Chain A
Amino acid sequence: MDLRFTSDEIKFRDEVRAFFRTALPASIRRKMELGQRVSKEDTVTWQRILNAKGWAVPSWPVEWGGTDWGPVKTYIFKEEMQLAPAPDPLSFNVSMVGPVLIAFGSEAQKKHFLPKVANLDIWFCQGFSEPGAGSDLASLRTAAKREGDHYIVNGQKIWTSRAHHADWMFCLVRTSSEGKPQQGISYLLIDTKTPGLTIRPIHTIDGEHHFNEVFFDNVRVPAENIVGEENRGWTYAKYLLGHERVGIARIGAAKHRIQRAKALAAGVMIGDTPLSETPRFREKVASIEVELKALEITQMRVVANSVRLPKGAADPTSSILKLKGTELQQATTEILMEVAGANAMIREPEHLWGTATEPSIGPEWTTTTAADYFYTRAASIYGGSNEIQKNVIAKRILEL
């Protein structure tokens, strides 16, 4: 047993750290440090910088632009990226549609899409949830009927993150009503510019536009855009469940928030005492740090163990990473907002976007804390709510 990285891993970490220090554009770094929203352009810019370095899609096979890093280095890479702090790569591209295409797509699909997905020439969004199919995703009803060389898609998706930025959508559609609900679902790639497809914004409690409703009115999708076989889409979507759990706890991002909260609390005075010197604050933060350290080691255990598992197999312990990880994301946004105090409640969206021309009313750093707090409530809802995660753990791990 040994917590330390090998000298080779430390060399790698230093290399990654040095690269992030020089390659991440200063304007993007500044936004990330202040907790501001990064724009679509920022995300694309950063993804292309990574891609030029060959680091855009490290978990993909080498032949499709990936690396041969293995779990430990991939873990180091992701941690360092969050600590830089750099924007997250677009998970819909890198961790979702990419791996599904690699595993189940046709050669033509792989050749056409994968390079563009890696370089973010194509921005994908995920069309899963529907008004009547949230946690019970398999009850989805958006229908795709085959007519000659096309599928005709009718229905509605909801909570579609960043669909307003997207060029394409990977979409679960119903192609059969026979058998169990899971059996009649297909995985379809849809160009968002296709006639009949309409995107409407949903504004979230942080006042921002992350989510959308997407309506399909006789949308004609070429049949060649189906991934794998018809009615097998549920299996493909589920394939991702055990995949890419390593980054899901987002330890690096939570650590970065704690670093900030501590530094900023030193400048917040309670009478003559900095907030950072009050036992109440220190113990509150220490309490989160304990859980964060525990989760970091849990994550390291999953990483160390994954070296031994067959590729694609899921470690049962990994399922708790999302549960606890989202709780800690939320706890860290909460503490930052508390440090900001009443200033957090001043709503100045231009400061959140980094487009302000006027100085903020309160300290600049406080302007983003409430939005971060409000939006991060979604972390325990999307990607399978934490309650659904618990159902899955009870069944698969605890065998109840």
Chain B
Amino acid sequence: MDFDFNDEQRMLKESVDQLIADRYTFEQRKTYMKDGSGFSREMWNQYAEMGLLGLPFDEKYGGVGYADGGAVETMIVMEAFGRGLTLEPYLATVVLGGGLVNLGGTDAQREAILPKIADGSLMLAFAYEEAQSRYNLADVATTAKRDADGWLITGEKNFVMHGNCADKIIVSARISGDRTSRDGIGLFLVDAKAPGVSRKSYETQDGQRAAQIKLSGVKVRSNDALGNDGDPGKALPLIEKVADNALAAVAAEGLGAMSAAHEVTLEYLRTRKQFGVAIGSFQVLQHRAVDVLVSLEQARSMAYFATMMVNDPDPVERGKAISAATVQMRRSGKFIGQQVVQLHGGIGMTLEYKIGHYFKRLTAMESLLGDTDHHLAALARAGGLIEAGV
């Protein structure tokens, strides 16, 4: 039982925290947002230089080579990103796209893709959600039909995080079975510029970018189906594993955003004066701030829990832990997001001040890979965390 970072992890934390503190102030972030793709290419290259973009990958693919895929290291990075409200497609490219290729790709696919992610020259997105799927990763209406020398993909994907800038999009598509059956789902690497791909990019409420992607009979070569041990219709367990990785990463990002919002709010309570005194001297606001602290510490514990359980060999235990952590993160995120705005009063409502942006990011996370109700229901169906007994 140990919640410490090792020396290497401490160094990583120091350098990432420093980078975000120096290069991701609220003002700098505003300028990054104005860039065409909605983030800073310069920061992206900086992450590559620091080795962050290859963090989960093996050394032979340009990565760092952590035995467990760098769960703790990813948490450290994501927490810092949450504090800075960073805009770059780290989750989409490294955790989701890179994760799928790394864990489910053939050697040839890994060799072709992972080094380019690590050096910053290739961006990925993962297109899993559809209009009707409502957080169910197995609900896939997009089809993949056998073609002479490959596959034809047809369907429509939405909420594709950073689908606007991705060079390659990994698409889940149904090869066989009913729309919601667990079997028969494949994953395909689609070139974003391939004929038949059309994307409608949009800005999300929190200032990030996403896309709606239409695929009309897009031709994909056989060797662009992700590996799955030679059976391209068995991709769901891989999708679920990578989704859990992403939920653990988002938990850490949420933790970073919540802690920063809490700190900003405390500073405001100490300095803002009304009735001749700091408003933090009022008991009603003190108790609200303590409620925020309690919720934050509960969230911190569950972000750690998610990180330490995400590589559990038993997918049921892993899934329960990730769902439990996600429920806590979403609840804390909503509560803290709403309260920090309230504690600021009017200034909390303006776009000119950072606190509202934390609230918006935390709100956007709520519907990422399943909302609170979705994960609570999943946990309840799986029997919860504690076994019945007298």
Return A360 CB to nearest CB of chain B, in Å.
17
Query: Which one of B178-186, B198-206, B225-233, B377-385 is at the A interface?
Result: B377-385
- Contact, CB under 8 Å: B385 / A282: no
Contacting pair A320 B308 (CB below 8 A): no
* A387 B379 Cβ-Cβ under 8 A: no
- A297 & B305 in contact (Cβ 8 Å cutoff): yes
B283 touches A259 (CB 8 A): no
Residue of B nearest to A261 (CB): B388
Q: A320-B293, A390-B287 are in contact. Are A290 and B324 (CB under 8 A)?
A: yes
Q: A263-B389, A398-B266 are contacts. A393–B384 as well, Cβ < 8 Å?
A: no
Residues of B within 8 A of A305 (CB): 3
- B380→A285 contact, CB < 8 A: yes
Bound: A33/B389 CA distance, A: 10
Interface residues on A, range: 35 or more
Indicate if A300 sits at the interface (CB-CB under 8 A).
Answer: yes
Q: Scoring A residues 384 to 400 as 1 if CB is less than 8 Å from chain B, else 0, what string do you get?
A: 00010011011101111
The answer to whether B297 and A391 touch across the interface, beta carbons within 8 angstroms, is: no
Residues of the A chain whose Cβ atoms lie less than 8 Å from the Cβ of B388:
259, 262-263, 266, 276
- Is A286 within 8 A of B328, CB to CB? no
A-contacting residues, B366-390, CB 8 Å: 376-377, 379-381, 384-390
Q: Please determine whether A282 and B380 come into contact, CB atoms closer than 8 angstroms.
A: yes
B158 to chain A, nearest CB (A): 27
Contact among B1, B385, B389 for A289, CB-based, below 8 A: B385
Q: How far is the CA of A29 from the CA of B346 in the complex (A)?
A: 57
- Assuming the A-B contacts A3-B305, A259-B388, A400-B269, are A390 and B290 also in contact, with contact meaning beta carbons closer than 8 angstroms in the complex? yes
Contact of B1 among A2, A394, A397, A400 (CB under 8 A): A2
Separation of A127 and B377 alpha carbons in the complex (Å): 48
CB <8 Å contact, B390 and A393 = no
Confirm or deny: A104 has a beta carbon within 8 angstroms of a beta carbon on chain B: no
CB of B286 within 8 A of CB of A391, answer yes
B219-247: CB near A (< 8 Å → 1, else 0) gives 00000000000000000000000000000
Q: Which residue of chain B has the shortest Cβ distance to A323 in the bound complex?
A: B294
Q: Given A263-B388, A276-B388 in contact, is the A2-B2 Cβ separation under 8 Å?
A: yes
The answer to whether residues A317 and B3 also contact, given A263-B389, A286-B380 and a CB cut-off of 8 A, is no
**Structural contact, A289 and B384, CB atoms closer than 8 A:** yes
Instruction: Please report the C-alpha to C-alpha distance between residue A350 and residue B122 in the assembled complex, in whole angstroms.
Output: 73
The residue that B266 contacts in the complex, of A5, A317, A400, with Cβ under 8 A, is A400
Q: Are B294 and A320 in contact (CB under 8 A)?
A: yes
A4: chain B residues at CB < 8 Å are: 1
Closest Cβ of chain B to A377, distance in Å, is 19
The size of the chain B interface, using a CB distance under 8 A, is 47
Most buried by A among B1, B4, B72: B1
Residues 1-45 of A at the B interface (beta carbon under 8 Å): 1-6, 9, 33
**A301 to B302 CA separation, bound complex (whole angstroms):** 11
- Contact between A290 and B379 (Cβ–Cβ < 8 Å)? yes
Write the nearest CB–CB distance from A143 to chain B, whole angstroms. Answer: 31
* Alpha-carbon gap, A260 to B384, bound state (A): 14
Flag whether A287 is at the interface (Cβ < 8 A). yes
**Residues of the B chain whose Cβ atoms lie less than 8 Å from the Cβ of A260:** 389-390
Q: Which of A3, A9, A287, A394 contacts B286 (CB 8 A)?
A: A394
Q: Decide if A263 touches B390 in the complex (CB within 8 Å).
A: yes
A198 partner residues in chain B, CB cutoff 8 A: none
Indicate if the CB atoms of B290 and A394 lie closer than 8 Å: yes
Is B121 at the interface (CB under 8 A from chain A)?
Answer: no
Task: Please tell me if the beta carbons of A1 and B380 are within 8 angstroms of each other in the complex.
Answer: no
Q: How far is the CB of B385 from chain A (nearest CB, A)?
A: 5
Smallest CB separation, B225 vs chain A (Å): 36
The proximity string for A residues 138-151 relative to B, scoring 1 for CB distances below 8 Å and 0 otherwise, is 00000000000000
B293-A283 in contact (CB<8A): no
Q: Most chain-B CB neighbours within 10 Å: which of A300, A390, A397?
A: A390
B298 near A1 with CB under 8 A, answer: no
Are B308 and A2 in contact, CB atoms less than 8 angstroms apart?
A: yes
Alpha-carbon gap, A323 to B289, bound state (A): 14
Task: Tell me, in angstroms, the Cα distance from A393 to B380 when the chains sit together.
Answer: 34
Q: List 11 interface pairs A-B (beta carbons < 8 Å), by A numbering.
A: A1-B304, A2-B2, A262-B387, A279-B381, A285-B380, A293-B305, A301-B300, A391-B287, A398-B280, A399-B270, A400-B280
Partner-A contacts on B (CB < 8 A) = 1-5, 72, 266, 269-270, 278, 280-281, 283, 285-287, 289-291, 293-294, 297-302, 304-305, 307-309, 324, 327-328, 376-377, 379-381, 384-390
